[in-house]
Homo-oligomer: A and B are copies of this chain.
Amino acid sequence: MTARAKSAPQTTENHCSKHHALASHPAAKLPPLTVMESQRMGEFFALLADPTRLRLVSLLAADEFCVCDLASSLSMTESAISHQLRALRAARLVSYRKEGRQVFYRLHDHHVLELYQTVREHLEE
């Protein structure tokens, strides 16, 4: 049983490399992402990687809504919506306004709207 073929666990050694002069792309300006930068950027994209959150954004792209309206629009529980809005809030993608016992959410700034619209158009082909 203990026969474990140890196939040189694919360590990271630069065997090949240096094959062609760095032609560099037309738009090659920024240096590669560091680990930390990539993690931060990944967290940003992860926020928009959820269908529920995206539908919330698409609703808020048109108007301001309270939690219960958002919940009924998406046919989901208010609890689930509230959890997702919290994530969007923490990342400053949405902001909110309290009016009585209701809380109205809206997109925080135009950056989010623009990014959403850009990607949406890109996926419509």
Contacts and interface: CB of A to CB of B under 8 A. Distances in A.
Interface of A: 9-17, 19-20, 22-25, 27-30, 32-33, 35, 37-46, 48-52, 54-55, 58-59, 61-64, 66, 68-69, 71-73, 75-79, 102, 107, 110-111, 113, 115, 117-120, 122-123
A33 B12 contact: no
A25 B63 contact: yes
A72 B13 contact: yes
Copies in the complex: 2
9 contacts: A16-B68, A16-B69, A23-B64, A27-B61, A27-B113, A27-B117, A30-B117, A44-B123, A115-B122
A75 B35 CA distance: 11
Contact of A61 (B30, B37, B72): B30
Which 10 pairs between the two chains have the least Cβ-Cβ distance? A46-B49, A38-B51, A45-B49, A10-B77, A33-B58, A28-B62, A45-B48, A14-B72, A38-B54, A32-B58
Contacts of A79: 10
